[in-house]
Structure 1
Amino acid sequence: MFARQGDAGLVTAIASGISFDDHGDHGDIDVEAPKLTGTEITGQKPSHFVEHGGEFTAFFDGEGVARIISEKAVLEGKSDVQEVKTDAPQHGVAVAYGSHVLLSEPNKEKPDELPVGIRTVDESGKQVGEIAACPDLHGEASSGNILAFACATGLLVVTHGDGAPEIKHLPYSDSLPDGKSTTLIGGRGLQYFLGNYGADKVVLIDPTVESDAFRLIELPTRRVHFAVDPTRPKFAYVFTEDGQLHQLDVVAGKIANSLKLTDPYSMDGHWNDPRPRIAVAGDKIVVTDPLQGKLHLVDAASFAKAGEIAVDGKPYNIVAVGGSGEVHDEGGENKHAHSHDHGDDQVYKGYFEDHQIKERALSDWAGDWQSVYPYLKDGTLDPVMAHKAETGDQSADEYRAYYEIGYRTDVERIEINGDSVKFFKDGKPLEARYASDGYEILTYEKGNRGVRFIFKKTEGDAAAPQYIQFSDHKIAPEAAGHYHLYWGNDRSALLEEVTNWPTYYPSSLSAKEIVSEMMAH
Structure 2
Amino acid sequence: MRRTLACATGISLILAATAMAQEADRDDATLYRVFVGDHADPKITAFDLSAPDKRWTFETTGQSKLYGVDDGAAVVAVQSDNDVVHFFRSGIVLDSHGDHSDIAIADPVALENPLTGPRPFHVIDHAGKVVINFDRGGYAEIVDAHDLAAGKVEAERLPQARAHHGYAAPIGKAWVTSVASNAPVDGDAAPQRLGLQQVKADGTPVGAVATCTGIHGEAFSGAYLATGCEEGILTVAAGADGPSFKMLPYPADLPAGETTGTLLGSKSLQVFLGNYGDKGLVVVDPADEPHFQHIELPFRRIDFVLDPANARFGYVLTEDGTLHQIDVLHGKVAQSARVTEPYSMDGHWNDPRPRLAMAGNEVVMSDPKAGMVRRIAKDTLEGAGTIPVEGMPYNIAVAGGSGVVHEGDGHDHAAHAHSHGDPKIYAGYFEDSQIQDRPLSDYAGDWQSLYPYLQDGTLDPVWAHKAESGTMSADGVKAEYETGYRTDVERITIEGDVVTFYRDGKPVKGTYADDGRETLTYKKGNRGVRFIFKKTDGDAEAPQFIQFSDHGIAPAKADHYHLYWGDDRAALLEEVTNWPTYYPSSLNAKEIVSEMLAH
Distance of aligned partners of 1:198 and 1:27 in 2 relative to their CA distance in 1, 3 Å threshold: closer
Counterpart-to-counterpart distance in 2, 1:15 and 1:277: 22
Secondary structure at 2:499 match in 1: helix
Candidates 369, 374, 392, aligned match of 1:314: 392
Return the offset for 1:26. 4.2
1:215 aligns with 2:293: yes
Distance of aligned partners of 1:344 and 1:438 in 2 relative to their CA distance in 1, 3 Å threshold: closer
Partner of 1:355: 499
Q: Letter of the aligned partner of 1:18 in structure 2?
A: I
Counterpart-to-counterpart distance in 1, 2:99 and 2:133: 41
Secondary structure at 1:291 match in 2: coil
Counterpart-to-counterpart distance in 1, 2:201 and 2:409: 50
Counterpart-to-counterpart distance in 1, 2:158 and 2:373: 39
Q: Letter of the aligned partner of 2:269 in structure 1?
A: L
Partner of 2:555: 478
Contact 1:189 1:352 in 2 (8 A): no
Counterpart-to-counterpart distance in 1, 2:133 and 2:308: 26
Return the offset for 1:332. 9.7
Task: Show CA shifts across 1:62-110 (max 9, x none).
Answer: 1111111212332343333221222221111111223322111112232
Q: Letter of the aligned partner of 2:294 in structure 1?
A: L
Partner of 1:3: 77
Partner of 2:124: 50
Partner of 1:69: 143
Partner of 1:131: 209
Distance of aligned partners of 1:24 and 1:9 in 2 relative to their CA distance in 1, 3 Å threshold: same
Instruction: Point out the structure with max Rg over C-alpha.
Output: 1
Partner of 1:148: 226
1:19 aligns with 2:93: yes
Secondary structure at 1:74 match in 2: helix
Partner of 1:179: 258
Distance of aligned partners of 1:351 and 1:274 in 2 relative to their CA distance in 1, 3 Å threshold: farther
Return the offset for 1:285. 1.2
1:283 aligns with 2:346: no
1:167 aligns with 2:252: no
Counterpart-to-counterpart distance in 2, 1:280 and 1:4: 20
Distance of aligned partners of 1:70 and 1:242 in 2 relative to their CA distance in 1, 3 Å threshold: same
Report runs of 4+ in structure 1 exceeding 4 Å deviation: 21-26, 342-347, 350-353, 356-362, 435-441
Distance of aligned partners of 1:439 and 1:102 in 2 relative to their CA distance in 1, 3 Å threshold: closer
Structure 1 regions of 5+ residues with no counterpart?
334-341, 363-434, 442-475, 481-521
Partner of 1:33: 107
Partner of 1:499: none
Return the offset for 1:36. 1.7
Contact 1:232 1:346 in 2 (8 A): no
Candidates 318, 330, 351, aligned match of 1:240: 318
Contact 1:203 1:216 in 2 (8 A): yes
If asked which structure has higher relative contact order (CA below 8 Å, sep 6+), I would say: 2
Candidates 325, 330, 338, aligned match of 1:260: 338
Return the offset for 1:269. 1.6
Counterpart-to-counterpart distance in 2, 1:302 and 1:322: 22
Task: Show CA shifts across 1:276-331 (max 9, x none).
Answer: 11111111111221111122222223332222222222221111110211223339
Partner of 2:403: 325
Return the offset for 1:258. 0.3
Secondary structure at 2:369 match in 1: helix
30-39 vs 272-281, greater mean Cα deviation: 30-39
Secondary structure at 2:82 match in 1: coil
Task: Show CA shifts across 1:147-186 (max 9, x none).
Answer: 0111000111000112311111111111112210111111
Task: Show CA shifts across 1:123-156 (max 9, x none).
Answer: 3433221111111111111111210111000111
Calculate the TM-score normalised by the size of structure 2.
0.56
Partner of 1:459: none
Task: Show CA shifts across 1:415-439 (max 9, x none).
Answer: xxxxxxxxxxxxxxxxxxxx99989
Partner of 1:302: 380
Q: Letter of the aligned partner of 1:29 in structure 2?
A: I
Partner of 2:308: 230
Q: Give aligned pairs, total.
A: 364
Candidates 149, 152, 165, aligned match of 1:91: 165
Distance of aligned partners of 1:160 and 1:352 in 2 relative to their CA distance in 1, 3 Å threshold: farther
Contact 1:103 1:120 in 2 (8 A): yes
Counterpart-to-counterpart distance in 2, 1:343 and 1:122: 41
Distance of aligned partners of 1:216 and 1:331 in 2 relative to their CA distance in 1, 3 Å threshold: closer
Structure 2 regions of 5+ residues with no counterpart?
1-74, 412-440, 447-493, 501-511, 518-530, 538-552, 558-599
Q: Letter of the aligned partner of 1:224 in structure 2?
A: I
Counterpart-to-counterpart distance in 1, 2:96 and 2:347: 48
Return the offset for 1:3. 0.5
Calculate the TM-score normalised by the size of structure 1.
0.64
Contact 2:513 2:536 in 1 (8 A): no
Distance of aligned partners of 1:353 and 1:163 in 2 relative to their CA distance in 1, 3 Å threshold: farther
Secondary structure at 2:391 match in 1: coil
Partner of 2:503: none
1:200 aligns with 2:344: no
Return the offset for 1:195. 1.2
Q: Letter of the aligned partner of 2:180 in structure 1?
A: P
Partner of 1:379: none
Distance of aligned partners of 1:222 and 1:344 in 2 relative to their CA distance in 1, 3 Å threshold: farther
Q: Letter of the aligned partner of 1:66 in structure 2?
A: A
Contact 1:196 1:202 in 2 (8 A): yes
Return the offset for 1:236. 0.7
Counterpart-to-counterpart distance in 1, 2:264 and 2:177: 19
Distance of aligned partners of 1:313 and 1:477 in 2 relative to their CA distance in 1, 3 Å threshold: farther
Return the offset for 1:28. 2.7
Return the offset for 1:25. 5.5
223-232 vs 301-310, greater mean Cα deviation: 301-310
Counterpart-to-counterpart distance in 2, 1:343 and 1:33: 34
Counterpart-to-counterpart distance in 2, 1:196 and 1:222: 11
Distance of aligned partners of 1:23 and 1:286 in 2 relative to their CA distance in 1, 3 Å threshold: closer
Counterpart-to-counterpart distance in 2, 1:10 and 1:198: 31
Counterpart-to-counterpart distance in 2, 1:346 and 1:29: 20
